[in-house]
Chains A and B, each alone.
Chain A
Amino acid sequence: MIKRKNISTMISMLLILSFLVTGCSSSSSGGNSDDNKISVLLSAGEVGQFNAWQARTEEFTKETGIEVEYIIVPYENLLEDITTAGISGSGAYDVVAYLDTMGPSIQQFLEPLNEYAEEGDFQFDRWPEAVLNLSTYDDKVYSLPVRSHVQMLFYRKDIFEELNIESPETWEELVSAGQKVQDNTDLSGIVPYYGAGNNGQNLYMWTSYLWSNGGDIFDENMKPAFNNKNGVEATERYISLLDTIAPAGSKTFGEQDARTNFQNGKSAMWIGWWWAYSGFNSDGSALADNVGFAQVPKWDGKESVSNVSSFPMAMTKGSKNKDAAWEYLKWLAEPEMEKDIVMDTLTNESPAEQHSIVVTQKANLQDEKLNELSDNFYNVGHKNFQSAKTFPTIPEWPQVADILSTAMNEMATGKEVKPTLDQAAQRIEELMKEQGYYE
């Protein structure tokens, strides 16, 4: 009796063990082996443009017979998911969306698109050079910048009209305008964001000061150049906003904090990504129809230089259905589709969750109808895109950005500009040396 009991217990244990083992093993096949089905990884967060793509996917499936499965993950998990799928080579995703700063690390898991484009006569130059640069590594294009943003200056129309202030074109005019606002209202002139971390957000506005002043982050030999005369001058001017027209709290702000401050009517100007414009004008916003826009200011007698960021779409190296994935990418990049989504937004013909004002292709940026409906928003955006530069697309950028972002915050919270920039330059030079950039 005892023996039988022991045997049945052992069988149960073996069964549990087998379940454990099979439960822990990962499927080696992964991905989609079906030629007519692809999986697309997007980030969550109610992005209107992503929702609009999903809503139109049925048309794509009708045209091509390719089914599309969308996998939505929180933004925080996006990099981890792409990396895990890339390392395992499972082909779990055929197409992925990613933030440009993730590019250097995940580029090894992405498929270069040049050959596909050449075969199908697909032109990359439909996008402004700056955003295309963010998708390019070693002269190969790895993604399509179908979602891209440029920095613009936003200001309160009502206050500027009331105080008879013109939208500032130079950094000097920006301070004068801000001071006039502060003298006559209880608002701050402008709300920058000097906060540390946040993936180097506090560097975007700084680079507009730096680049417009003829400075740069690296020179042609990849040696730090931001601590030269132009760099120090630009940085001092950027940090000195705290002494004149920026609220003290901006020392700790990230981009979102600063945007909220502007949206809550605490400041009269904000420099940030253009996608925020639709939020300022959304139903229920206190600033609806009351926000003006302009090019990012420049140094007197010099050119305005903005910064761009992109959230491109790429085909994965592990994809089992590369042809179908390319068809899908081409469909996303159709100029008509981009225009259609924005037209529906501007004319309020699409549901609110599909609203998007993102236009990335040069022809659409200059489109007469879109500009008429948007009060010339895209022409101004186009100018910003044309003059924009990008952060260096080097694998070491996250470390360089971390050093610079920390230095920027240190200067905003009281450290002297020149010695802090020199120290950051020294640390970056050591890092670049370690990585073999210099002989």
Chain B
Amino acid sequence: MKNRLFKYFLLIPAFILLALTTFYPLVRSFWISLHEWDLKETAEMGPFVGINNYLSAFSDYQFWNTLKATLIFTGSTVIATIVLSILVGLLLSKEKKHLSFIRAILIIPFAVSPALIGYSWRFMLNPDYGLFDQIIGFFIPALSDVIWLSHEGTAMVALVSVVVWIFMPFISLMFISALMGMPKEVFEAAKVDGASSFQTFFRITLPMLQPIILIATILTTMFTLKAFDPIVTLTQGGPGASTSVLNFFIYKTGFQFFNLGYSAALGYILAGITMVVVIVYMRRLVKGDQWN
């Protein structure tokens, strides 16, 4: 009996640590989201307003603008990252020596600070001396006069490209390991049956990759919804407010406008959106028993 209690006792330090670093901030921020708290007025939390802060979001034009930008940004980034990562996975999943070196250095962009990447790309896209801007102009003269960050469409393309560039290496590694772990017999059998490369990819490789695609999609969606540094450093939400995503809006509301109650509510709305997406994906995973 004593031994049974002892094992729970051993969990106490971990529980305290989690309570202080995770549970308390979560509960506290939820509590703040139910109050009015304008830090410009007072350092004390204001009166309890129930779900008013949540309701305010739905009548706030900025919220809807940022939600639209978030959907475009997240959707484009997730699709581009998954498609490109699968292609990179197919290219680099062969058992060759030089490929193992490339696989090792592939992770570098994911390891670099996103803020640094954002600043670097801002410089590279600078119309005066930007390296990338000049390379594009050299190869496609029609694009030499494009100011990438000055139009809604091109700024979003630039932002999505940079974020894909950050996440793709990590997701590619997931696909590489999945592809390298696939049983060779299946592919040999397909070859014997006369299946073309195209048929093999769509009928065998892709269905077998499905669980990894689902996990990769969950991770990329979560990473993208939380993306903040590249937006601040690359576009500052512009031009206009076209790349101002929800996460950036939460930051501005909390730390530039000092409306802590509303900012906390927006944070929970973002968390809610993330959870809904994850639950939908997870249900698909469990339902399809894709783990096996």
Binding site for B on A (CB under 8 A): 6, 10, 13, 16-17, 20-21, 24, 79-80, 83, 86-87, 104-105, 108-109, 195-199, 247-249, 251-252, 254, 257, 261, 264, 266, 395-396, 398-399, 402, 406-407, 409-410, 412-413, 415, 427
Contact with A along B24-43 (1 / 0, CB 8 A): 00000000000000111111
A262 to B287, CA, bound (A): 61
Binds A, one of B94-102, B188-196, B215-223, B255-263: B255-263
- Please, which residues of chain B bring their CB within 8 A of the CB of A409? 238-240
Among residues of B, the one whose C-beta sits closest to the C-beta of A21 is B16
Residue with the highest number of chain A CB atoms closer than 10 Å, among B127, B149, B150, B232: B150
A399 to B258, CA, bound (A): 10
Of the candidates B40, B61, B236, the one whose C-beta lies within 8 Å of that of A104 is: B40
A395 to B42, CA, bound (A): 11
A195 to B240, CA, bound (A): 9
| B257 and A398 within 8 A (CB) | yes
| A196 and B128 within 8 A (CB) | no
- Please, which residues of chain B bring their CB within 8 A of the CB of A261? 128
- Please, which residues of chain B bring their CB within 8 A of the CB of A10? 6, 9
| A17 and B16 within 8 A (CB) | yes
Of the candidates B20, B38, B237, the one whose C-beta lies within 8 Å of that of A196 is: B237
Interface residue count on the B side (C-beta < 8 Å): 39
Given A248-B127, A249-B126, A252-B239: A17 touches B12 (CB 8 Å cut-off): yes
| B147 and A249 within 8 A (CB) | yes
| B41 and A395 within 8 A (CB) | yes
Residue with the highest number of chain A CB atoms closer than 10 Å, among B38, B128, B257: B128
- Measured CB to CB, the closest approach of chain A to B217, in angstroms, equals 30
| B20 and A248 within 8 A (CB) | no
Among residues of A, the one whose C-beta sits closest to the C-beta of B151 is A413
Given A10-B9, A195-B236: A251 touches B128 (CB 8 Å cut-off): no
| A398 and B256 within 8 A (CB) | yes
A16 to B62, CA, bound (A): 48
Of the candidates B10, B42, B61, B232, the one whose C-beta lies within 8 Å of that of A427 is: B61
| B17 and A20 within 8 A (CB) | yes
Given A13-B12, A79-B255, A402-B252: A196 touches B129 (CB 8 Å cut-off): no
A27 to B195, CA, bound (A): 71
- Measured CB to CB, the closest approach of chain B to A430, in angstroms, equals 9
| B40 and A196 within 8 A (CB) | no
Given contacts A196-B237, A196-B239, A247-B127, 11 further A-B contacts (CB under 8 A): A17-B16, A79-B255, A109-B43, A196-B236, A251-B150, A251-B239, A252-B127, A252-B149, A395-B40, A406-B238, A413-B150
| A197 and B127 within 8 A (CB) | no
A80 to B258, CA, bound (A): 11
A326 to B239, CA, bound (A): 45
A125 to B128, CA, bound (A): 44
Q: B270 an interface residue at 8 Å Cβ cutoff? A: no
Residue with the highest number of chain A CB atoms closer than 10 Å, among B20, B126, B239: B239
- Please, which residues of chain A bring their CB within 8 A of the CB of B6? 6, 10
- Please, which residues of chain B bring their CB within 8 A of the CB of A195? 236, 238
| A108 and B43 within 8 A (CB) | yes
28 pairs, CB–CB < 8 Å, chain A vs chain B? A6-B2, A13-B12, A13-B13, A17-B12, A17-B13, A20-B13, A87-B43, A105-B258, A108-B41, A108-B42, A195-B238, A196-B236, A196-B239, A197-B232, A197-B236, A247-B128, A248-B127, A251-B150, A252-B149, A264-B128, A266-B128, A395-B40, A398-B258, A399-B257, A406-B237, A406-B238, A406-B240, A407-B240
The 6 closest A-B pairs by CB, nearest first: A197-B236, A196-B238, A249-B127, A395-B40, A410-B240, A251-B150
What secondary structure prevails in chain B residues at the interface with A?
Answer: loop
Contact with A along B8-24 (1 / 0, CB 8 A): 01101100110010000
Contact with A along B231-247 (1 / 0, CB 8 A): 01001111111000000
A109 to B127, CA, bound (A): 43
Of the candidates B12, B42, B128, B237, the one whose C-beta lies within 8 Å of that of A197 is: B237
- Please, which residues of chain B bring their CB within 8 A of the CB of A87? 43
- Measured CB to CB, the closest approach of chain A to B224, in angstroms, equals 20
- Please, which residues of chain B bring their CB within 8 A of the CB of A264? 128-129
- Please, which residues of chain B bring their CB within 8 A of the CB of A198? 236
| A413 and B10 within 8 A (CB) | no
- Please, which residues of chain A bring their CB within 8 A of the CB of B241? 196, 406
- Please, which residues of chain A bring their CB within 8 A of the CB of B255? 79-80
Among residues of A, the one whose C-beta sits closest to the C-beta of B115 is A76
- Measured CB to CB, the closest approach of chain A to B203, in angstroms, equals 47
- Please, which residues of chain B bring their CB within 8 A of the CB of A196? 235-241
- Please, which residues of chain B bring their CB within 8 A of the CB of A79? 255
- Measured CB to CB, the closest approach of chain B to A109, in angstroms, equals 7
- Measured CB to CB, the closest approach of chain A to B49, in angstroms, equals 14
Contact with A along B151-166 (1 / 0, CB 8 A): 1100000000000000
- Please, which residues of chain A bring their CB within 8 A of the CB of B232? 197
- Please, which residues of chain A bring their CB within 8 A of the CB of B258? 105, 398
A261 to B130, CA, bound (A): 12
A402 to B38, CA, bound (A): 17
A399 to B145, CA, bound (A): 34
- Measured CB to CB, the closest approach of chain B to A432, in angstroms, equals 14
Residue with the highest number of chain B CB atoms closer than 10 Å, among A196, A247, A399, A412: A196
- Measured CB to CB, the closest approach of chain A to B290, in angstroms, equals 40
- Please, which residues of chain B bring their CB within 8 A of the CB of A108? 41-43
- Please, which residues of chain A bring their CB within 8 A of the CB of B42? 108
- Please, which residues of chain B bring their CB within 8 A of the CB of A16? 13
- Measured CB to CB, the closest approach of chain B to A247, in angstroms, equals 7
| B256 and A402 within 8 A (CB) | yes
A87 to B152, CA, bound (A): 40
- Measured CB to CB, the closest approach of chain A to B145, in angstroms, equals 8
- Measured CB to CB, the closest approach of chain B to A12, in angstroms, equals 10
- Please, which residues of chain A bring their CB within 8 A of the CB of B39? 83, 105
Contact with A along B113-134 (1 / 0, CB 8 A): 0000000000000111100000
- Please, which residues of chain A bring their CB within 8 A of the CB of B38? 395
Among residues of B, the one whose C-beta sits closest to the C-beta of A104 is B40
A6 to B41, CA, bound (A): 54
A402 to B238, CA, bound (A): 11
- Please, which residues of chain B bring their CB within 8 A of the CB of A395? 38, 40-41
| A410 and B126 within 8 A (CB) | no
Among residues of B, the one whose C-beta sits closest to the C-beta of A109 is B43
A406 to B152, CA, bound (A): 13
- Measured CB to CB, the closest approach of chain A to B41, in angstroms, equals 7
